Amino acid sequence: MKKIFQYKNDYGLAIVQQMCRKFVIASIIILASAIAFGDTNPIGLVLSGGGAKGSFEVGALQYLYENGFCAGVICSTSVGSVNAIQLAHGGTKTSQKAAFDKLKTIWQTELTFNQDMYVEAPWLAGVSPRTRTAIASLFDPQTIDFPQLARDVVFFPPYAIGQAVVLGGDLQEGIEGLKNAQSIFTLDPIRSKLKSNLNGGVVASSGVELRLVAVSLDSGAIRYITQDGHVLETDGRPVAGADPTVCPAERAAYEAAIQARMDLLERSHTERTNLSEELKRAAAEVLKARTRLGQCTTRAGSKRLVVNVADGVIASASIPCVFPPVVLGNESYVDGGVRWVLPLKAALDFPKTEAIVAINASPAGVPSAKLAYRNTNLLDIAERSVLDILLWEIQERHLEVAKLEALQHRKKVWVVTPRADVHDTLTIDPGLIDINIGYGYMCAADVVTNFPFAPLPLSNIHGDFEARNGRIIRRPPTPAEGMFVNEAANPTLAALADAIAKCRRRCWELEYNVFGALPGDAPFDPRYELKRVPSPQDLDEVRLFKSLLFVLVAARQELHGKLPPGAASWADSWERHRWAPSDVPGVGNTPWSAFVSPAGNRVAATRPTAMLVKAPDKDPVYLLTPFRCWITSPEALARVNVGGAAVNEIPAEYLDALPKGSDIL
């Protein structure tokens, strides 16, 4: 009997031991999986340059943070660095989400006019109004169409002088002014916002690895500024420079001079008073204070270069000739986008980042030609070759190298990129910011489809794991596939996202006429004037496009495409502007309210939920329900009841974006 009990006990113990062994093996495999898939390793985030188009990044980030995103490594350039420094205040999901919420609030409440991001350089305060106006006109997209990447990355001063003369400026005055000038504008407003919102100690201790990318004008080298202000070579070696603790009085005087000038600019804007003489004196004080600081730091000795991280942000965002270079140590630095518009390489160099999300604020690819070049002159050919093709070639080569490196190191990379521009690099407007945020949200949702990051097959990262005789065995890794995603998984959803952004942009443009608004002269005087007669004809067109917007949004919902919160109200609301609807008597609170104007009245209306449309110069008529249903004959059209609505013409690109429904016979 004892032997029987002993046998049963031994057998039970063996079963328990086997179960424990299997549990331990399974736990090890799960732990290995978690390590391999980024549950313990930091996720990388890459943010590109693009000036005012940084609002696209905000929209893409909104989608990510709504889904539990948290970046352990953030690499950025230009406006991406302005966004990155705010995100770096949080090292956990909760704190980084809170940091993002503050970033979004800043974009939507503190950026209304161009001067909320940049102001004219001090030397321009002394030129004649005619030359000043001529230079201002260079930055008005309706006056001269700069190649898009040139607006994003670089500005060519000799071209500016020539164009300013053509537009009525004084050649001698322009040349004299540019002799000692380093830029047309300054980023003083951004510096002021950094002073108010940046907590360097929190950023340095948050646990986020930060790499702000800037380019040295002296050496041409790409350099990184870290979360604690260290300046590094791309291989991690420290850069030598001036001691940041020296010249405290000169630094304080420089910051005080900048703040005094910002206060005057704010008074000039809010009180609409002429403070030109005071602004000239304030600008002169800024130049003097900057010169004294530069002289002082030059006299200081060299050591491992550590800078104020706010200076690193401004350096990374200083588009050459548009904004002045920033002196860090013994060298002058400009926008990192000169060499890396989207600094993916910086994130790939972190060995532990196995999942990276990169957000590019500008469309990829060579811009389409606007001329027939067989009949153009030398300047047209040079402009197209250098400012369009060559600069885009540099960016595309960098992306190809980054893609190859990602595949070699078995890393998962998503690249979120717009396919259309909502606004240009230098235009700050609340409506365009809102539209671009919504567009960025949809683009991110369409590309990063399996977020939060689901575990990839172990073979794609570290090889297969399996249990053999109670031991964990790892087989060699197999070649990775699909590790670099830079296109939307569903082309129809992508086309709808583009169409929605373009439709909202069109409504925003038309609403200027509806409200009788005149925009100010960009970029020096961004104020608007409500002095034209509100247009009922443009209201009719706004209502047409708002009806179309409803159909486009409904189609995206029908296909289970993600939309930002509040998207359901887009078709029933005005786009946001620098004025409130109540500022204009007779214009209602929505596009569907009653409208009264000396030019004509419109009764209140209910937004339709379906439309009869056709493309210009084409016969087929479609019912948008939100599917695009072809009405095959006049008899079929007569049977379609859309509340007596007429057939409207809309651009073909909107029709093409909508999913095809059943034909109406």
pLDDT tens sequence across 298-331: 776 667 899 999 999 999 999 888 889 999 987 8
Ordered DSSP codes for 447-497: HSTTTTTPPPPGGGTT--EEEETTEEEEPPPPPP-S-EE-S-S-HHHHHHH
CA distance linking residue 183 with residue 509, whole number of Å: 30
Question: Which percentage of the chain shows pLDDT scores above 70?
Answer: 75
Nearest residue to 418 (alpha-carbon basis) of 444, 397, 388: 444
Q: In this structure, which long-range contacts are made by residues 101-108, counting pairs with CB atoms below 8 Å and at least 24 apart in sequence?
A: 102/197, 103/58, 103/61, 104/58, 104/61, 104/62, 104/437, 106/193, 106/197, 107/54, 107/55, 107/58, 107/433, 107/437, 108/430, 108/433, 108/434, 108/437
Nearest residue to 190 (alpha-carbon basis) of 292, 326, 14: 326
Question: Alpha helices, DSSP H only, in 79-156?
Answer: 79-87, 93-109, 129-138, 148-153
Write down the pLDDT at residue 59: 98
Write down the pLDDT at residue 595: 96
What are the tokens at 431? 């409506």
Write down the pLDDT at residue 184: 80
Write down the pLDDT at residue 34: 40
482 has a pLDDT exceeding 70: no
CA distance linking residue 623 with residue 664, whole number of Å: 9
CA distance linking residue 405 with residue 649, whole number of Å: 48
With contact defined as beta carbons under 8 Å apart, do 339 and 222 qualify?
Answer: yes
**Mean pLDDT throughout 78-87?**
97
SS3 labels along 590-633: CCCCCECCCCCCECCCCCCCCEEEECCCCCCEEEECCCEEEECC
CA distance linking residue 583 with residue 96, whole number of Å: 38
**Please, which pLDDT band fits residue 263 given cuts at 50, 70 and 90?**
confident
**Please, which pLDDT band fits residue 280 given cuts at 50, 70 and 90?**
confident
Condensed to tens digits (0 to 9), the pLDDT of residues 112-136 reads: 988 899 888 877 766 666 666 655 5
Nearest residue to 133 (alpha-carbon basis) of 143, 122, 118, 146: 143
What are the tokens at 132? 């000043």
Q: What are phi and psi of 303, to 5 degrees?
A: -155, -170
> Among 154-158, 432-436, 468-472, 479-483, where is mean pLDDT lowest?
154-158
Greater confidence (471 vs 337) lies with 337
What are the tokens at 15? 């079963």
Nearest residue to 239 (alpha-carbon basis) of 219, 263, 209: 219
For all residues of the chain together, what is the average pLDDT?
81
Write down the pLDDT at residue 374: 78
Q: What are phi and psi of 331, to 5 degrees?
A: -130, 160
Write down the pLDDT at residue 70: 95
**Mean pLDDT throughout 337-350?**
90
Which residues are 76's β-sheet partners? 47, 212
Host H or E run for residue 654: helix 652-657
387 has a pLDDT exceeding 50: yes
CA distance linking residue 102 with residue 450, whole number of Å: 26
* Residue 218, Cβ density class (10 Å: 0-12 exposed, 13-18 middle, ≥19 buried): exposed
Dihedral sign of CA atoms 630, 636, 637, 641 in order: negative
Can you tell me which residue has the tokens 């095959």?
632
Which residues are 224's β-sheet partners? 213, 232
Task: Give one word for 469, left, alpha or beta, with left for phi > 0 and alpha for psi -120 to 50.
Answer: left
Write down the pLDDT at residue 456: 41
138 has a pLDDT exceeding 90: no
Condensed to tens digits (0 to 9), the pLDDT of residues 602-655 reads: 999 999 999 999 999 898 999 998 999 999 998 898 888 777 678 999 999 999
Write down the pLDDT at residue 593: 96
